[in-house]
Structure 1
Amino acid sequence: MGTATRGDRRDADVIVIGGGAMGSAAAWQLAGRGLDVLLLERFEPGHTQGASHGASRIFRLSYPDPLHIGLARRAGELWRELEGESGVALLSVTGGVDHGGSPALDRLCAGLEAEGVESHWLDAAEAEDRWPGMRVDTRALYHPDSGRLHADRAVSALQSAAGERGAVVLHRTRVQRIRVIDDGCVEVETEPDRRPLRARRVVVAAGAWTEHLLAGLVPLPRLRVTQEQPAHFVPVAGEAGWPSFVHRIAPEADGFQKFHSGIYGMATPGEGVKVGFHGVGPRVDPDRRDFRPRPELAAALEEYVRTWLPGLDASTAVPISCTYTTTPDETFVLDRRGPIVVAAGFSGHGFKFVPVIGRILADLAVDGKRPDPLFALDRPRRAPQTV
């Protein structure tokens, strides 16, 4: 791609918009290839406006298909590489459990077995004896390689490592407009400096602000932005020993069937056990969020904890506010149109893949190498997939 110079009016080879996990991983990977990289983030370091903050995200290989399993395996290797490069502990292996009456568990088990991922079934009594803080619905599939990622540390480590590789990271820099120039370059207009920045490529990993920036520039799928409200609960007997878990409720089950898309949780050292419903929050404009938990969802989550997680004190909920940005089929977008690389729609299951997605985005920016067509902007319409 060449090196940017003031003589040809370029400020960088690649401008990355969005300093959350995905954009920071792209900057890390691009800078590692010797490119001049400029990472622009509109908020301050460690902010809580988007979807990359907090101390805990689930890491798992437990997917029903070889594509996601392969991505998760490579991501696991790259998380360890980042730990070695940054000197920061990011991934803790705790083991993971999927349980419930949903037929999705059978597909999950078959997918793991086909790819040689260690897992085994436990009946409800066996699982509850092993994890007495949980009630287990019908049966449990245990996968010992799952665990927990520290989100805040991950973003900080990625940005620090990108900087060590030569990237420039600018916080409190809001992108107002992206424009494709006739010579194939891209101009990015920012605040507070109104002077347009110019680059050969732009990577847009802006989460809930993606449509604001790319409307009319690339054919985005409809992106649904919601405000989600998981919560931390105090464990009765301490945080140690809790696996990451996903409760996959059968759609026809009584009680919490409206949350059958998944209920998840994991220990968050120092904060309790995080529990949340998957993607049920109200739609929001990311610039007009109120950050206030909805009483009906808070009550439902506390009732769920009383019913299914006796090892937690349901009266101790400390709500968390974050955004989800999802596509209609709940599969993320990794693609390129001209000089614009798009990364969008990761919410609910994207964080575990962060470093490998950074590598994919670098491939797209440098030589246009596209990943699996499943992630394309122009993929065929399909029903939401169980992930």
Structure 2
Amino acid sequence: MGSAAAWRLASRGGEVTLLERFGPGHDRGSSHGTSRIFRLAYTDPFYVDLAVRSLPLWRRLEEETGRQVLSLTGSVDHGPAAITDALYEALTASGRPAERLVPEQVAERWPGLRADTGAVFHPEAGRLHADEAVAAFQQAARAHGADVRHGVRVTGLSVLGDGVRVVTEANEEWRADAVVVAVGGWTAALLAGGASAPVSGVPKLRVTQEQPAHFPAADPLSWPSFIHHPGAGLPATGRTTDGVYGLGSTDGVKAGFHGIGPVVDPDHRDRTPDLATVRALAAYAERWLPGVDHTGPEPLTCLYTTTADHDFLVDRQGPVTVLGGCSGHAFKFASVIGELAASLVHGEPGPSRFALGRRPRTAR
């Protein structure tokens, strides 16, 4: 989100400096690796619209940088008919193509994937290459004149009149007319400070270590992305309470349980694979993903920073704009969230849905 905001702000002619705590391509947060799902399929029209708005911005990023970051292979959502029907209705009401399928049709079209009860396919979906996307945002930001600096840890932030004072771990001091804070799992720590905090209304954020895995498969790049919704053949309890997601990548077919990991401190987390979760993913793959080698999972870890309602934080107070609360589903929206951030910095209103201090909705 921070790199996307730097791109969109610099493209508007602003004098932009991007301070990155870690080096290029780091794996300390939520934006590394080779694969993130891109999809338009939400039952909520708000998110369908937001994803639709992100698509041309991803293509603009590719045009500006010459990097391919988004591959559209389509997406299969499957599970209870009530959910797949609602997804179909939301997509078609927004004028997007979608197709209802039965499990036999899914198996015929994608033999490596076994569907549950009902299914909906939409072609405007696929995968984003996370590392390439972040690198492309920064490349595009530089091309528009931004100064991108890595290895700079911000330790303090304060509002001074109409501007902002930023202090780094190396005791450097920066002054700016406006600042965008996009620090993922470190959001609460950086913005803490009681009455002296630079913004108010930052909600409680749950930072967890999640553990998907890559499974070997023939031609994984041909796979559609997929989401298995619980409530039919998949239990809506335990690890599968919020379903299973997956997609093909250069590292194999990725699959993971959504938002089940332990709460962690992002500076002191144990990246040791949880063997029980690995075994549970392998058992899922054996039943539902006949096209992968379920005996060879390669686990990996990443961070989720989740709000109570799973909506993001995209808001401005005074000279400080906050981007965060990705809740495990924000990467697909990064291009448009960068645009929203640039608009906020320039004084335009943002979505009330993402406001600081909002009353949380019931979690989706």
Tell me how far apart the structure 1 counterparts of residues 232 and 260 of structure 2 sit (CA, whole Å): 15
* 1:76 and 2:58 are equivalent in the alignment: no
Aligned to 2:296, which of 302, 316, 319? Answer: 316
Amino acid at match of 1:205: A
Amino acid at match of 2:252: G
Tell me how far apart the structure 1 counterparts of residues 152 and 235 of structure 2 sit (CA, whole Å): 49
Tell me how far apart the structure 1 counterparts of residues 268 and 339 of structure 2 sit (CA, whole Å): 33
> Which ranges of structure 2 fall in alignment gaps of 5 or more residues?
none
Residues 281-318 of structure 1 deviation map (CA, whole Å, 9 limit, x = unaligned):
10000000111121221111111111111111111111
- Other-structure match for 1:291: 271
Deviation at 1:365, TM superposition (A): 1.0
Query: Contact 1:250–1:257 at 8 Å: present in 2 too?
Result: no
Query: Contact 1:100–1:247 at 8 Å: present in 2 too?
Result: yes
Amino acid at match of 1:249: P
Query: Contact 1:102–1:248 at 8 Å: present in 2 too?
Result: no
* 1:56 and 2:35 are equivalent in the alignment: yes
Deviation at 1:241, TM superposition (A): 3.0
Deviation at 1:379, TM superposition (A): 2.1
Aligned to 1:146, which of 125, 129, 146? Answer: 125
> Which ranges of structure 1 fall in alignment gaps of 5 or more residues?
1-21
* 1:187 and 2:168 are equivalent in the alignment: no
- Quick check: 203-212 or 57-66, which moved more? 57-66
Deviation at 1:196, TM superposition (A): 1.5
Query: Contact 2:81–2:117 at 8 Å: present in 1 too?
Result: no
Q: Cα gap change, 1:227/1:254 in structure 2, threshold over 3 Å: closer, same or farther? A: closer
- Size of the aligned set, in residue pairs, is 359
Query: Contact 2:239–2:260 at 8 Å: present in 1 too?
Result: no
Q: Cα gap change, 1:308/1:111 in structure 2, threshold over 3 Å: closer, same or farther? A: same
Deviation at 1:105, TM superposition (A): 2.2
Deviation at 1:257, TM superposition (A): 5.7
Aligned-residue sequence identity (percent) comes to 50
* 1:281 and 2:261 are equivalent in the alignment: yes
Aligned to 1:249, which of 218, 225, 230? Answer: 230
- Structure 1 runs of 4+ aligned residues shifted over 3 Å read 251-258
Query: Contact 1:251–1:258 at 8 Å: present in 2 too?
Result: no
- TM-score, with normalisation over the residues of structure 1? 0.90
* 1:205 and 2:186 are equivalent in the alignment: no
Aligned to 1:123, which of 91, 102, 109? Answer: 102
- Other-structure match for 2:93: 114
* 1:332 and 2:309 are equivalent in the alignment: no
Q: Where in structure 2 are the equivalents of 1:98-113 lying within 5 Å?
A: 98-101=77-80, 103-113=82-92
- Other-structure match for 1:268: 249
Q: Where in structure 2 are the equivalents of 1:80-91 lying within 5 Å?
A: 80-91=59-70
- TM-score, with normalisation over the residues of structure 2? 0.95
Tell me how far apart the structure 1 counterparts of residues 233 and 110 of structure 2 sit (CA, whole Å): 26
Q: Cα gap change, 1:129/1:251 in structure 2, threshold over 3 Å: closer, same or farther? A: closer
* 1:358 and 2:338 are equivalent in the alignment: yes
Query: Contact 2:310–2:325 at 8 Å: present in 1 too?
Result: yes
Alignment root-mean-square deviation, CA: 1.5
